[in-house]
Amino acid sequence: MKNTLKFFGIIAIAAIIGFSMAACEPVENDDNTLPDPSPLEGTWESTTSKSAYIFERDKFTVKNDGAYMWEGTFTYTDTSFTMTVTEADSSLSAMVGQKTTYQYLMLNGRTLILTDTTSQFVFTKDGGGHGNHTGECLAKGSTGPGGGRIYYHDCKGFAVTGANAYIAYNLEVAYTSGLFLDTVNNLGKLKWATAANSPYATVSRLAEGKAIGRGRNNTALILQADPTAPAAKACVDYRGGDKTDWFLPSIDELYEIYMYLAGSGSGSDELFWSSTQFNADHAYYENLVIVSDDYMDNAKNQEYKVRAIRAF
């Protein structure tokens, strides 16, 4: 992963009010009965940080890398829950009393996707990843159902976020005849946006998603802001293998193409757009010949190559 991801644990803890849960003593109701376990019951671990969350009945506790952070109570519905911090480590005493509401989506009982107004976070239950569905995992370099190449797989599965979220095991990249990535790119050179910023200044910050599994949602959010966004639209309009689920990859999904190629490109002009925006004016891109240790961004009206991918 890129260097910036090393700091995600700290960012996630600052952004998420109490999600990792260490065990707490259950508290009886007024009628001396215990609250029923919630759908969130158990231990959940962040897929991108060292946060671990344990829900027990109507209580929660948050830990980061094993260290106690804060705890409290929560209420929930079928689609959201509200957390109230009641106690915290002395260094985090300002958290006490804070209340936060998250929308949540649970997949297969083992993957939890949390969304607030600006961010999306993915957690897996009891350290079990998404299960060991090795039969779903295709070999790198094999031909995918869309006629492209499998360039990344995770045999435990990864969450593909956004509307109708699901668990996927493979990433497939479109390619033209000849080399895996040849100089005749099937989608050509395109702008990320038709203008330097407007109307992209209003694109939800969720379109800043960098991680694997975020590109599909990024692409949808971009097209919500402007249905003619050139790079994103080219990807969703692509019909390789008669598939209709292609999208513009997130920066980390794009980076994995470089990793698959091991840095061997087919020319000096190998700059590709990702669906991850940096801000209203800039979006991230990747050089698939010589990759940078840091994320690179440029103005959205620049023209770079575009490569569609799909997750299944």
Highest mean pLDDT: which range of 32-36, 194-198, 205-209, 250-254: 250-254
- Mean pLDDT, rounded, for 118-129: 68
Residue type, 119: S
* Rg from Cα positions in the chain: 21
Q: How confident is the model at residue 11 (pLDDT cuts 50, 70, 90)?
A: very low
Give the whole-number percent of the chain exceeding pLDDT 90.
Answer: 34
Lowest mean pLDDT among 18-32, 35-49, 69-83: 18-32
Q: Which of 26-30, 57-61, 105-109, 241-245 has the lowest mean pLDDT?
A: 26-30
Break the chain into its structural domains and give their ranges: 3-125, 134-311
CB–CB of 84/73 below 8 Å?
Answer: yes
CATH number for the domain formed by residue range(s) 3-125: 2.40.128.280
Residue 70: strand pairing partners: 62, 88
The structure's pTM equals 0.67
Lowest mean pLDDT among 75-79, 82-86, 199-203, 307-311: 199-203
Can you tell me the mean pLDDT for 240-259?
92
CA dist 235 and 187 (Å) reads 8
CA angle (161 as vertex; 153, 276 as ends), nearest 5: 85
Is the four-CA dihedral 129, 236, 280, 270 of positive or negative sign?
A: positive
Of 120, 125, 17, 25, the closest CA to residue 74 belongs to 17
Mean pLDDT in residue range 99-118: 82
Other C-beta atoms closer than 10 Å to the C-beta of 144 total 22
**Token code pair at residue 264:** 């061997």
For residue 301, count CB atoms less than 10 angstroms from its CB and return exposed for 0-12, middle for 13-18, buried for 19 or more: middle
Tell me the DSSP string of 95-123: GTT-EEEEEEEEETTTEEEEE-SS-EEEE
Mean of pLDDT values over 233-252 = 93
Q: How far is Cα of residue 53 from the mean position of the Cα atoms in its chain?
A: 19
Are 48 and 123 in contact, with CB atoms under 8 Å apart? no
| pLDDT confidence band for 207 (50 / 70 / 90) | low
Q: What is the pLDDT of residue 179?
A: 39
Lookup: tokens for 254: 């794009």
Type of residue found at 174:
A
Alpha carbons 6 and 3: distance in angstroms, whole number: 6
Per-residue pLDDT for 284 more than 60?
yes
